[in-house]
């Protein structure tokens, strides 16, 4: 059996008996660190999700505003077109009425000629 040499640098470790307690303590510290890290990651994901959702909502609002603007523009353009058509119809009606008063036979002949042309084109 080997005996310790008095000049040897080997010494018995007095903490050898408490090693399992130290390991348990270190494992508990690691568990706490992992728990803290998990919580921090969850907070980061939540913040990122909230930020992303805010950006998406902002983009949706912007797109909705653009669509609303386009619809409003189309409505205004449609109203302008209807007003212009009414003006043309009124002008045409006034011109036809004036023509009937001034030259009734010429106006009737022109209407008959246009009717003949439309009828001939319709048959084809």
Q: Quote the CA–CA distance of 87 and 79 in Å, as a whole number.
A: 12
pLDDT tens across 34-60, in order? 888 888 888 888 888 878 888 888 888
Q: Quote the CA–CA distance of 84 and 76 in Å, as a whole number.
A: 12
Q: Quote the CA–CA distance of 86 and 78 in Å, as a whole number.
A: 12
> What pTM does this model have?
0.42
Task: Give the single-character DSSP code of 18.
Answer: G
106: Cβ–Cβ under 8 A, 6 or more apart, which residues? 99
| In the chain, where the domains are located | 34-123
Amino acid 56: pLDDT: 83
Q: Quote the CA–CA distance of 53 and 49 in Å, as a whole number.
A: 6
Q: Which two tokens stand for residue 68?
A: 């609303």
Task: Give the single-character DSSP code of 65.
Answer: H
């Amino acid at each position: 059996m080997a005996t310790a040499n008095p000049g040897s640098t080997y010494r018995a470790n007095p903490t050898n008996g408490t090693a399992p307690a130290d390991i348990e303590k270190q494992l508990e510290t690691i568990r706490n660190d992992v728990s803290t890290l998990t919580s921090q990651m969850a907070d980061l994901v939540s913040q990122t999700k909230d930020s992303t959702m805010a950006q998406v909502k902002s983009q949706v609002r912007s797109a909705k505003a653009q669509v609303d603007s386009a619809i409003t523009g189309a409505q205004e353009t449609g109203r302008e077109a209807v007003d212009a058509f009414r003006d043309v119809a009124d002008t045409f009606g006034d011109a036809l009425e004036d023509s009937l008063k001034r030259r009734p036979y010429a106006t009737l002949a022109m209407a008959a000629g246009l009717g003949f042309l439309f009828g001939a084109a319709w048959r084809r």
